[in-house]
Amino acid sequence: MTNFVQNGRVVTLTAPYTRTANQGALVGSIFGVAENDVTSGSEGEFAIEGVFDLTKAAGVDFAQGDKCYWDDSAKEVADTDSANSYLIGVAVKAAAVGDSTVRVRLNGTSVS
């Protein structure tokens, strides 16, 4: 195949804001997890498929299978859809109210 570029699990994106490795970011309608530190406006590698422990909103819990939304204002995973949140995947492990992260399987598709 002469037109194959890459498998697409990790893509090069321009960071809309500074991220350290393992932090999520919404780039247009693509959600990804930074593989390395990247500054706002710079290109970096972002995983758009896989399972990741991501910072979650305080005071919320997740059951296994719950939908996970990216709150782009707070830069964390939320449990509800809102004007500034985007469906990014599902929780694959329960997370209690006191936990700081939730384990998310990314959808690997565009968000809206």
Report how far residue 37's alpha carbon sits from residue 10's, in angstroms, rounded to the nearest whole number: 15
Determine contact, residues 62/72, Cβ cutoff 8 Å: no
Mean pLDDT of the 86-90 span: 96
Determine contact, residues 68/88, Cβ cutoff 8 Å: yes
Angle at 62 between CA 17 and CA 52, to 5 degrees: 45
Determine contact, residues 25/44, Cβ cutoff 8 Å: no
pLDDT tens, residue by residue, 36-87: 999 999 999 999 999 999 999 999 999 999 999 999 999 999 998 888 899 9
Report how far residue 61's alpha carbon sits from residue 99's, in angstroms, rounded to the nearest whole number: 8
pLDDT of residue 66: 97
Provide the greatest CA pair distance for the chain.
50
pLDDT tens, residue by residue, 11-38: 999 999 999 999 999 999 999 999 999 9
What pTM does this model have? 0.92
